[in-house]
Amino acid sequence: MADQPKHEAPQGMEPYDLGKGDDLGALSTEQQEKLNKFKIQTRMENEKYLREHPEVECILAGFLGDALTKRPEDIREFAAEYFTSTDLPGKVQKQLEDRQALLKQNRILQKI
């Protein structure tokens, strides 16, 4: 097995082994550093997007909750029906309102 990289991979991300000599499958130190920077930048952009669009969390949480509760036999068909439902925008709006109310309540409780 190749020696582990001397630098740390970004938190929660798997490092690639740095090869020795003619190991064409391994990354050079420079390539690994560029990859780590790219991973960090991508993660920051994803986090920013998700903070700006809380409806994504509501859609995913709603879908997962329904899927785990109903345990459909054909998950693909269930997902297709869920995401094409005409009721979905209303459900998401309700979840966003509930989320905002909960956040407001939490802020009030923190002040006490």
pTM of the model: 0.60
39 CB-near residues (< 8 Å, 6+ apart): 9, 10, 13
pLDDT per residue over 38-71, tens digit each? 999 999 999 999 999 999 999 999 999 999 999 9
Sign of CA dihedral 103, 11, 52, 91: negative
pLDDT per residue over 30-47, tens digit each? 888 899 999 999 999 999
Q: Between 105 and 24, where is the model more confident? A: 105
d(CA 70, CA 21): 54
Residue 38: the pLDDT is: 95
